[in-house]
Amino acid sequence: MSLAAEVVEPRSGERARRLSGTARALGIAGVALLGVVVLAALGASVLAQHPPERIVAAPFLRPSGQHWLGTDDIGRDLFAQLVHGARVSLSVGLGAAVLALGAGTAVALVAGYRGGWWDMVLMRLVDLTLTLPLLVLVLVLTAFLGRGLAVSTVLIASVLWARPARLLRSQVLKVRRFGHVVAAEAMGASALRVSLTHVLARLVPLLSSQLVRAATVAVVVQAGIAFLGLGDPDRVSWGTMLFFANASNAVLTEAWKWWVLPPGLALAALVLGLALAGYAVEEWAEPRLARNAPHRSRRRRRPVEEPRPQAAGTALEIRSLRVRFGGTRPVEAVGGVDLTVRRGRILGLAGESGSGKSTLALAVMGLVPEAGRITEGEIMFGGRDLRRIGRANQARVRGRELALVPQSAMNALNPVRTVLAQVEEAARLTCPPAEARRRAGDLLERVGIDPRRHEAFPHHFSGGMRQRVLIAMALANEPRLIIADEPVTGLDVVNQVVVMELLESLVGELDLDLVVISHELPLLARWADDLAIMYAGRVVERGPVERLVREPRHPYTRLLFSSFPDLEGPRGQVGTVPGEPPDPARLPAGCAFEPRCPCALPRCATERPELDGAEGTCSAACWLAGDVSVRTLFVDPAGVADGDPG
């Protein structure tokens, strides 16, 4: 439990924003269209040789060198009207949008941040506004309040503010639980300061896309009003042009080509431009949309030769697996990993965040995120290479034979369905419906959840209980191998023991094989049979846990152990791994741990050490690992007694 644990902020949005190709192309097209309209509006007095409101020639003239689009029913220049009309559309569109969004934001901030009565009253007002018919309301009010441009801008804004207000308020409700907002409150910042510097800033993406949308509607509504003859009589707009054209039956004559078509096209160009630009703005605001954009994927052909058969007694054999993430800074998240899960044993996979342990798990599951790709290696499971069996078969293996207990029990469950229903849904994969329900009940009971609570929702459960539900879901289809990704992170120590004991008992009882991923090495040292320690995408040490705990051979392993506080021993002494993990996009040429290693040799900076032993034995990727005399020189900053037997 934590003060600010309620909302997990999406972090993807905080990386540099980059638009997908489609969004960029559409955005450019939109901006180009808008640009034409804006230029026409700005340069209207230069472009048009005649004033738009004055009678300058005979009525109903055809287009000529003098009057490019001819004249209207009383002899005003149509081209002048067209370019000046851009001013009206733009100013009303932008003005109304800014006004509406300003009001909507203020309402959203007060309602969402102050809450209570403010929220009640303001949101009822929003509901009321939303139920009113927009265009009719504006028309009625125009008749009452007059036709001036300023009046119609305010009128349009007064019906447009409610929708953004509602959307923004729900965003405010979310943002106010974000860590930095709570932090500012805890610091003693005033409500005004918190809403303006912390909450408002997080509304900007939504605000900008709503602004574009409001502008689009405002342009159309303004044109509609003017077309109905309620436009500003002193200002010519595209809507009034169409009104006069219609009144003079231009639609029925040849004049539609120069009287109706140009303002219609201009209106279409402006609205289309806004819509296209809005598409790009929306993706900029919500970068996750980019993932849904169509994109080309390049796949290299797989090598044709058959892989070496899987070794006997192994549940999973990973061979020189590489996973690469593309983009402007390509990163090799997994850089050539060899790892074996032996039958009936628990493999503990340890490493700091960013070491590639979760990516490795996802690669085995066939769930590498869209931006990444397995570039090399074999994943031998059940006698075949999972990379060669095709997507459909991979999906069949997933859940039925291989199951993942995902990270963060808080977010992996559906909050609006009972836990029983969720386990049942997982069991449906292999069970007929009637049996699935019974099986789900049995499984929940097996992981220690009281039958009376099976129909409860995830938020009624503690973190430890939710983790158990996830384990029950993983078990639903009797898999042979389970990968548990950080199953105890965020749990208190009592629940950590409960969950680990549960996993351990399941392995014995159901003849499962288990991989447990954790950043807590001492925890794995207690519960696993074999250990593998990852650093910067590679396994740096692995072996049976007894050997490894008695005599770790990689300096990183040793430092990692020392950085966890002990219950006994001198007080106040906790070690650390000095320095920071390397930038995955720029790994050192030699050993990736060299910059942080207290006993690095000159050779370590240039030559990368490989694991020095075969599978199943204790092996370390370190130039010092084989040299016992040098090994005793390892610095041990925790002051942990260095008297290892042997």
Partner 1 sequence: MSEPAAGQAPEGPLLELQDVGVSFAGKGGSGLTAALDGVSLSVARREIVAVVGPSGAGKSTLASVVLGLHRPDTGRAVFDGSPLAGLNRRQLRRLRQRMHLIFQDPYSSLHPGRRVAWLVGEPLAVAGAPRPQRGPAVARALAEVGLAPVEAFLDRHPHQLSGGQRQRVALARALVGRPDLVVADEPASMLDASLRAVILELVRRLRDRHGASVVFITHDLALARHIADRVVVLDRGRIVEQGPADEVVLRPRHPATLALLEASRRARRSLHDGPAPAS
For residues 285 and 279, give the distance between their C-alpha atoms in angstroms, rounded to a whole number. 10
For residues 4 and 94, which CB has a smaller minimum distance to partner 1 in the complex?
4
Give yes or no for residue 579 binding partner 1 (CB under 8 A): yes
For residues 435 and 546, which CB has a smaller minimum distance to partner 1 in the complex?
546
The stretch near partner 1 (CB under 8 A) out of 99-107, 134-142, 196-204, 532-540 is 196-204
For residues 208 and 98, give the distance between their C-alpha atoms in angstroms, rounded to a whole number. 10
Residues with Cβ within 8 Å of 212's Cβ and at least 6 positions away in sequence, in order, are 97, 274, 275, 277, 278, 281
Q: Minimal CA–CA distance to 381: which of 396, 369, 359, 370?
A: 396
Q: Which of 565, 606, 610, 639 binds partner 1 (CB under 8 A)?
A: 565
Give yes or no for residue 575 binding partner 1 (CB under 8 A): yes
> 535 in helix, strand or coil?
strand
What residues numbered 14-33 form the site for partner 1, per CB under 8 A? 14-16
Give yes or no for residue 562 binding partner 1 (CB under 8 A): yes
For residues 313 and 340, give the distance between their C-alpha atoms in angstroms, rounded to a whole number. 10
Give yes or no for residue 396 binding partner 1 (CB under 8 A): no
The stretch near partner 1 (CB under 8 A) out of 157-165, 268-276, 476-484, 561-569 is 561-569
The stretch near partner 1 (CB under 8 A) out of 93-101, 142-150, 563-571, 605-613 is 563-571
For residues 461 and 453, give the distance between their C-alpha atoms in angstroms, rounded to a whole number. 9
The stretch near partner 1 (CB under 8 A) out of 123-131, 269-277, 468-476, 577-585 is 577-585
What residues numbered 271-310 form the site for partner 1, per CB under 8 A? none
Give yes or no for residue 566 binding partner 1 (CB under 8 A): yes
Residues with Cβ within 8 Å of 255's Cβ and at least 6 positions away in sequence, in order, are 60, 62, 70, 245, 248
For residues 79 and 593, which CB has a smaller minimum distance to partner 1 in the complex?
593
Work out how close the CB of 286 gets to partner 1 at its nearest, in angstroms, rounded to a whole number. Answer: 14
Q: Which of 309, 390, 451, 578 binds partner 1 (CB under 8 A)?
A: 578
Work out how close the CB of 114 gets to partner 1 at its nearest, in angstroms, rounded to a whole number. Answer: 12
Backbone dihedral angles phi then psi of residue 535, each to the nearest 5 degrees: -145, 125
What residues numbered 40-59 form the site for partner 1, per CB under 8 A? none
For residues 53 and 529, which CB has a smaller minimum distance to partner 1 in the complex?
529
In one-letter notation, the amino acid at residue 597 is C
Q: Minimal CA–CA distance to 331: which of 286, 386, 375?
A: 375
Work out how close the CB of 624 gets to partner 1 at its nearest, in angstroms, rounded to a whole number. Answer: 17
Locate 540 and state its tokens. Answer: 């740096």
Give yes or no for residue 411 binding partner 1 (CB under 8 A): no
Work out how close the CB of 459 gets to partner 1 at its nearest, in angstroms, rounded to a whole number. Answer: 9
What residues numbered 496-525 form the site for partner 1, per CB under 8 A? 496-497, 500-501, 504, 519-523, 525
For residues 262 and 584, which CB has a smaller minimum distance to partner 1 in the complex?
584
Give yes or no for residue 417 binding partner 1 (CB under 8 A): no
Give yes or no for residue 476 binding partner 1 (CB under 8 A): no
For residues 468 and 498, give the distance between their C-alpha atoms in angstroms, rounded to a whole number. 9
Q: Minimal CA–CA distance to 604: which of 584, 623, 625?
A: 623
Work out how close the CB of 287 gets to partner 1 at its nearest, in angstroms, rounded to a whole number. Answer: 12
The stretch near partner 1 (CB under 8 A) out of 4-12, 264-272, 310-318, 422-430 is 4-12
Work out how close the CB of 325 gets to partner 1 at its nearest, in angstroms, rounded to a whole number. Answer: 16
Q: Minimal CA–CA distance to 364: which of 375, 379, 354?
A: 379
What residues numbered 343-382 form the site for partner 1, per CB under 8 A? 352-354
Give yes or no for residue 588 binding partner 1 (CB under 8 A): no
Burial status of residue 16 (CB atoms within 10 A of its CB: 0-12, 13-18, 19 or more): exposed
Number of Cβ atoms within 10 Å of the Cβ of 646: 6
For residues 63 and 637, which CB has a smaller minimum distance to partner 1 in the complex?
637
Number of Cβ atoms within 10 Å of the Cβ of 487: 27
Work out how close the CB of 324 gets to partner 1 at its nearest, in angstroms, rounded to a whole number. Answer: 20
What residues numbered 197-226 form the site for partner 1, per CB under 8 A? 197-198, 201-202, 204
For residues 622 and 219, give the distance between their C-alpha atoms in angstroms, rounded to a whole number. 68
For residues 375 and 563, which CB has a smaller minimum distance to partner 1 in the complex?
563
For residues 472 and 558, give the distance between their C-alpha atoms in angstroms, rounded to a whole number. 35
Give yes or no for residue 252 binding partner 1 (CB under 8 A): no
Work out how close the CB of 305 gets to partner 1 at its nearest, in angstroms, rounded to a whole number. Answer: 40
The secondary structure element, H or E, covering residue 44 is helix 44-47
Cα separations (Å) of 299 from 16, 55, 296, 373, 548? 26, 68, 10, 9, 40
Locate 544 and state its tokens. Answer: 């049976």
The backbone region for 461, taken as left when phi is positive above 0, alpha when psi lies in -120 to 50, beta otherwise, is beta
The secondary structure element, H or E, covering residue 162 is helix 162-175
For residues 103 and 285, which CB has a smaller minimum distance to partner 1 in the complex?
285
Work out how close the CB of 197 gets to partner 1 at its nearest, in angstroms, rounded to a whole number. Answer: 8
Locate 103 and state its tokens. Answer: 């009001």
Q: Minimal CA–CA distance to 493: which of 564, 547, 559?
A: 564
For residues 100 and 199, which CB has a smaller minimum distance to partner 1 in the complex?
199
What residues numbered 439-468 form the site for partner 1, per CB under 8 A? 460, 462-464
> 549 in helix, strand or coil?
helix
The stretch near partner 1 (CB under 8 A) out of 178-186, 260-268, 274-282, 321-329 is 178-186
Cα separations (Å) of 593 from 237, 249, 336, 609, 621? 69, 82, 16, 11, 10
Give yes or no for residue 492 binding partner 1 (CB under 8 A): yes
Q: Per-residue x/- marks for partner 1, 522-541, CB under 8 A? A: xx-xxx--------------
User: Is the Cα dihedral 447, 448, 453, 458 positive or negative?
Assistant: negative
Work out how close the CB of 522 gets to partner 1 at its nearest, in angstroms, rounded to a whole number. Answer: 4
Number of residues counted as binding partner 1 (CB under 8 A)? 84
Work out how close the CB of 626 gets to partner 1 at its nearest, in angstroms, rounded to a whole number. Answer: 20
The residues that bridge with 337 in the sheet, in sequence order, are 321
Work out how close the CB of 641 gets to partner 1 at its nearest, in angstroms, rounded to a whole number. Answer: 6
Residue written as tokens 């909050």?
Answer: 415
Give yes or no for residue 312 binding partner 1 (CB under 8 A): no
> Could you give the maximum distance between any two Cα atoms of the chain, in Å?
110
For residues 223 and 412, which CB has a smaller minimum distance to partner 1 in the complex?
412
Are the beta carbons of 362 and 413 closer than 8 angstroms? no
For residues 134 and 156, give the distance between their C-alpha atoms in angstroms, rounded to a whole number. 8
Work out how close the CB of 563 gets to partner 1 at its nearest, in angstroms, rounded to a whole number. Answer: 4
